[in-house]
Amino acid sequence: MGLKQDKWYRPAEVAAKVATARALAAVLSRPKRDIVLVGGNLGEKYEDNASVFHDYLIRERPDLDVYWMYDPSADYVRKEQIPNAVPLGSFQNYLLFFRAAYTFHGHSLLYDIAPGIDRYIHLNKKTVMTHISHGIEGFKKILILPEDKPLLRRTDYFNCASPYEKRIKQNGWGAPEEKLITTGMARFDRLEPDSPAPEVKDILVMMTWREWLFGLSEEAFMESDYFRRTTGLLNDPAFLGLVRDRELNVKVALHPFMKRFERFFRQLPGQERIRFYSFDEISIKEEVVKADMLLTDYTSVSWDFLYQNKPIIFYMFDQEEMEQHRGTYLDLDGELYGYKAKSLRDVTALLGRITAGDNTNPFYKKAGEYFQYFDDDNCRRLADRVIGPARSTEKLKFRTGTLPAEP
C-alpha cells in the first residue's frame, strides 16, 4: 500500500546492516537483562497500545532493558523525552533486533520494529515476537500483503482484548489458537471506564482512510465521494449553525495519509469553532480523554469512547463501498455500539440530541461483549503472560538502588 517510500538503495543497505548486526550479535556476551523492543504507528508517533505498554515497562519493569523504535525523520522523541529511543533502520536497531529476547509491535514488525526485516525474519529464531494491535479489531478486515506472510507466521503471540476479538483473529486472520492470548488492550490502562462528561461540548472528529484513494491526483481526490462527503459535513449550514449556537468545540484529526490534501480541509469556513489538526499536531491518546464525544466513520478509536461511556456518531456514508472493497468484521447494521448516520440530516439531528443532554452512550450495556477487563492491569497482564512477572527482589533493587536485607 505504499506505507513507506524506500530509496532505491535501501534493500542493499538493509542487507549489509542485517549481516553485520547478526554476526556481531552472535559473538557478544549475553546481556545481563533481557532486551525488549517496542514499536507502533510506523515509528511516526508515540500512540496507541505500543506507547502505553512501553511506558509501563520503563516504569514497572527495571529488570528489563526496554527500547522504543522510532522514525528518525520525526521529532516527537525529543519533544516528549521518550527514554531509550532507537532510530528505525539504524545499525543499532538491527543489532538490538538480533539480541532481543522480546519484541512487541502495534502494526507490523516490518514498519514498527525493523525495516525490511521480512526477507531476513527466518534468521532470528530466538526472539519472542508479539503483535499487540494498535486498537481493537472489528471494522476493516486485515489486508495481508506478500511481505506480511512470513512476519505473521513468525509472530509468536497475538494479543486480544476479549474472546470477541480472539474469534476475529482466529477465524478472520487465521491465527492458531495457541498463539492467541487475551490480556486486554494496553491503551485502556490510561482510560477510566464509564466516565462520560457532564455535558457534551468538545467533539473529536476522526475519519479513517480508504486504500482505494492511494495514488490519486489532487484533482481526482477532490472529486472523490470521501472528500466531498467529509467536507460537505463540515461545511453544512445546519451543522455549522448547531456548532455555533451551542458553542461547541470541534477538533478534526486528519488521518496521516491525508498529508497531501490537508490544505483543502484547512480552507473550510467555521474555523473559530472547527479546528483541523494533522497527525503530527495532535495527540490522540490525550484527545480521547479530553473529548466528550466522537464523530467518525470506521475508526478503532471509537472503542476508547465506548469504554468511557461517551457518545459516538458513526457517519457511514459509504458503507456499501467499504464492505465491497475492504469488508468488516462487525455487522454494521446490527452490531454497532454508537448512533448510526447515513446522511447529513442524520448527523445534525443526532448531534442536536446529544448536545441537548444525552451525554452518555446508550450502547454502553454492550461493552462487556467487547472488553473482558475494566481495570488498569492490561499492561501487567500482557507483560506477565509473555515475559513473566518480575521478581520482587529485582524490583526493589532497581527502584531503591540497594539490595534487600538478608533474612
- Considering the entire predicted model, what is its pTM? 0.90
Contacts of 229 (CB under 8 A, 6+ apart): 317, 318
**Cell digits of residue 168:** 476475529
DSSP class per residue in 298-318: S-TTHHHHHHTT--EEEE-TT
Cβ–Cβ < 8 Å for 58, 84 = yes
Give the whole-angstrom CA distance, residue 312 versus residue 314. 6
79 sits in the region (left: phi over 0; alpha: psi -120 to 50; else beta) called: alpha
Helix (H) or strand (E) holding 11: helix 10-27
Q: How far is CA 298 from the centre of its chain?
A: 13
Summarize pLDDT for 89-104 with one digit per residue, the tens: 999 999 999 999 999 9
pLDDT of 396 higher than 50:
no
Q: What is the pLDDT of residues 294-328, one digit of tens each?
A: 999 999 999 999 999 999 999 999 999 999 989 99
Mean pLDDT, rounded, for 337-353? 95
H or E segment at 68?
strand 64-70
Q: Name the average pLDDT for the chain.
A: 90
A 10 A CB-CB count for 275 gives: 16
User: How does pLDDT run across 29-56, given as a tens digit for each residue?
Assistant: 999 999 999 999 999 999 999 999 999 9
pLDDT of residue 105: 97
Instruction: Give the span between the Cα atoms of 276 and 151, in whole angstroms.
Output: 36
**Cα–Cα distance, 271 to 249 (Å, whole number):** 10
Rounded to whole angstroms, the Cα distance separating 45 from 377 reads: 23
Task: Report the pLDDT value the prediction gives residue 311, as an integer from 0 to 100.
Answer: 98
Question: Residue 229 is inside which H or E element, if any?
Answer: helix 225-234
Q: pLDDT grade, residue 407 (50/70/90)?
A: very low
CA atoms of 66 and 55, how far apart (whole Å) = 9
- Out of 160-169, 229-238, 263-272, 393-402, pick the least confident: 393-402
Instruction: Give the model's confidence band at 402: pLDDT under 50 very low, under 70 low, under 90 confident, else very high.
Output: very low
User: Cell 511506558 identifies what position?
Assistant: 55
C-alpha cell at 262: 490537508
Distance CA 355, CA 202 (A): 10
pLDDT of residue 4: 59
Residues counted in the chain: 407
